[in-house]
Chain A
Amino acid sequence: MNTNWLMPLLTAVLLAGFPSRSHAALNVVATTSDLGALAREIGGDRVDVATLAKPTEDPHFVDAKPSFLVKLNRADALIEGGAELELGWLPPLLEGARNPRLAPGTPGRILCNQGVQMLDVPATLDRAKGDIHAAGNPHYLTDPANARIVAGHLAEAFSRLDPPSADTFRANLKRFTDQLDAKLAEWQKRMEPYRGRHLVAYHDSWPYLARRFGLKIDIFLEPKPGLPPAPAHLAEVMTRMKQENVRVILVEPYLNRRTAETVARNTGATVVDVAYLPGGVKGTGDRYVNLIDHLVTSIAQALEGGGK
């Protein structure tokens, strides 16, 4: 009896009965673009990353749009800063998202500051001090060494969500950290001549960067976090800048550049447009390494222009 049809039929039946795992990419939502960029580095093509906050907008005051709720409802994982930066808009989205994969404590809820040493954690909480962050300064990714920690954490988290791809994540992590290590050596070298230099910033977003490169960024145009620069305070700032020959003012893309320009004009300083989110200013692209490249280059160039 001719049974040539038997094996192909059996194979077809078996394949139909046991469909191969489609192994679709992980649907990942990141709150800000620095976390999104790192997620893409580690996840590669095993993840589909959507970022909620635009890199050009103030990430403390993002609108909790209904379209974000839909994204969170469909997500396999949520990557958030973990330092309450998103406290003003993420909670109502999560309430409506009704996604058990993103519940606190599940593998899909990834808090990125795990393992990061937080700076400026307030000893007491008092709104008279301005808009302070209870968990510490949330802009920890301005220090590339912290990116290493976050990347490792993401690789671990992704591997837990997609175990078959763990090798891919590990390889991506190795590639990223190798690149980061090489770049960090470069950045250290570039910033070495400026150790101990004093800079002014509009808002206190830079303590981690300052610590990494030995800079002093402790004069702010805001009298207290979140308060608008008042003329009296600006006068003090300008006096101090002249006394200590501070020549650089760091301004994020969503802040009032005109105020910074006024101060710069009166003190001979330079306004430097910087961002702590990839895509926030031109030249930062959408990769983390480009962001730090831009930061280091802009600051170094501005500091080169004289001063103590």
Chain B
Amino acid sequence: MRIRNVGAWSSALWLAVVGLSAQDTNRVEDLQRQLQQLQEESQRTQQELQRRIESLERQIQSLPTNAIAPVTSAPPESAAPEPRPAGPLDAPLRLLGSSRSYLNLSLDALIAAGGSTAENVEDVQLGGHDPRVNGFTLQNLELVLDGAVDPYFRAQANLIFQIDSEGESTFELEEAYAQTTSLPGNLQIKAGQFVTEFGRLNPTHPHAWSFVDVPLVNGRFFGADGLRNPGARLSWLAPTPFYSELFLAIQNGFGGTASSFGSDHDGEPLFGRPAVDRDLDSFGDLLFTPRYAVSFDLSSTITLLAGASAAVGPNASGEHTSTQIYGVDAYLKWKAANHHGGFPFVAWQTEAMVRRYEAGAYDGSDPAQPDPLPAETLTDSGFYTQLTYGFRKGWVVGLRGDWVGSETGAFEPDPDRDPRWRVSPNLTWFPTEYSKLRLQYNLDDREDEGVDHSVWLQMEFTLGAHAAHKF
């Protein structure tokens, strides 16, 4: 209203101005200028008010309503894709996963209780993170940190804490590596400290196992902590219609986690021979692990994943001796087409390995080991096969058979090479996917020791970002 009034008044003023005498021309011009300014200002104000009204109208329209919004209403504006952030600014740091943080953090604990008839439980349980005492064992407390480093790399670190059989807290750096997100030619490089991709079980972590302990063949050939070392791994996804991947890992061949290779076994003799101090003389003194894996969907509900691996590297038995381990693995899984939470399913996993260990000659110079031994190649083999049946949501029944054997060597008897077998039935209950309770019975038969029985009750809990498992 005021705007129109101004317009009316300004028109009247203009007429008055025109009627003035010529001597007031300057004054007239002044007044004309002022009038023009006034008009421009009023126009600007009018436009500003109009803009504000339109903006308010838009805001009103975009408010969420409880009533049904007509489908033919204005198309939705492109809202922010992220869900609104939660929590006040002074809340404790919430280490969440995926979309909300740069780092995923999770904590996984494995605790076991039970006992064995074996005289020394550590002789019968080969894994460093197996239940190893009569009583309680904190098998594994795994802290996993992972995330995207930048558009080029992903990185992960697995830090393991445990309480050993003497009650001492120990720390292990299990994995700490970076992996490329996409390289040309379908290649991928992983570098750092990592578990060697040999077979199916070695590259997995204890909390992901279907059994409480490590299979006999893995424990014997790869030692208490599995085969892992700093190094680099290249993989190539072949352009076949089915999954087909070629891996090559090059890692250090020495250290406690290269058990059949350059490890000095904490100064203890292996196969009757004390460890020989070896240097990394040439490129050939590294540990090489090629692997080939292939997968087929036999039907919409059955998938097969099979592989062949080899690990070749120097060992601590002589100046130029080396070890070669060859393995094949197969994993067959059926999962119901209308599974709930992944149940029911049936999974069958088998691995078989052969190890050729070139043992050096030993002159008997150590008074603790007075018998000399010739240079020879020791051949060991073993396999495990396990069947798991998730018969109901959260319930899995499992059965595993283990066997390890060897060709007789010059050093006999050798508890590290004597034949043994084991049968392990178990039952697992997952209240949710973040916790589990498992009861397992082991029937162990060792050639010189006879039969032993063990019963273990295991508990697992996970905190933090949900870690998705590979197939």
* CB neighbours of A171 from chain B (8 A): none
Interface residues of B in 190-234 (CB under 8 A from A): none
| Closest-CB distance, B190 to chain A (whole angstroms) | 10
Given contacts A58-B341, A100-B182, A255-B340, contact A63 B303 (CB under 8 A): yes
B338 touches A125 (CB 8 A): no
* CB neighbours of A152 from chain B (8 A): 75
Does chain B have a CB within 8 A of A111?
A: yes
* CB neighbours of B338 from chain A (8 A): 56-57, 253-254
B432 touches A117 (CB 8 A): no
Which one, B87, B98, B186, B432, contacts A227 given CB within 8 A?
B432
Does chain A have a CB within 8 A of B78?
A: yes
* CB neighbours of B94 from chain A (8 A): 125
Kindly state the separation between the CA atoms of A293 and B338 in the bound complex, as whole angstroms.
22
* CB neighbours of A67 from chain B (8 A): 242-243, 295-297, 303
Which one, B181, B186, B340, B466, contacts A58 given CB within 8 A?
B340
Chain B CB count within 10 A is highest, among A95, A104, A114, A185, for A95
Stretch in B63-71, B169-177, B279-287, B436-444 with 4+ CB within 8 Å of A: B63-71
A63 touches B76 (CB 8 A): no
Interface residues on B, range: 35 or more
* CB neighbours of B303 from chain A (8 A): 63, 65-67
Does chain A have a CB within 8 A of B21?
A: no
B182 touches A98 (CB 8 A): yes
A98 touches B187 (CB 8 A): yes
Contacts between chains A and B (CB distance < 8 A), count:
155
Residues of A in contact, count (CB < 8 Å): 64
Kindly state the separation between the CA atoms of A9 and B471 in the bound complex, as whole angstroms.
56
A64 touches B469 (CB 8 A): yes
B471 touches A65 (CB 8 A): yes
Main secondary structure of the interface of B (DSSP, over half): loop
Given contacts A98-B188, A115-B76, A131-B432, contact A92 B469 (CB under 8 A): yes
Given contacts A70-B237, A135-B99, contact A99 B75 (CB under 8 A): no
Kindly state the separation between the CA atoms of A118 and B241 in the bound complex, as whole angstroms.
38
Across the two chains, which residue of chain A brings its CB closest to B66?
A211
Task: Give me the interface of B with A, judged by CB distance under 8 Å.
Answer: 64, 68-69, 71-72, 75-79, 81, 83-84, 86-87, 94, 96-100, 148, 151, 154, 179-183, 186-188, 237, 240-243, 245, 293, 295-297, 300, 303, 305, 333, 335-342, 393-394, 432-434, 466, 468-471
6 A–B contacts from the bound complex (CB under 8 Å): A66-B305, A67-B296, A121-B83, A124-B87, A125-B86, A131-B433
Task: Give me the interface of A with B, judged by CB distance under 8 Å.
Answer: 54, 56-58, 60-61, 63-67, 69-70, 73, 82, 84, 87-92, 95-96, 98-100, 103-104, 111, 113-115, 117-118, 121-125, 127, 130-131, 134-136, 145, 148-149, 152, 180-181, 184-185, 188, 212, 214, 226-228, 253-256
Other than the given A95-B181, A103-B181, A125-B94, 5 more pairs (CB < 8 A) read: A54-B300, A66-B245, A67-B243, A212-B68, A256-B393
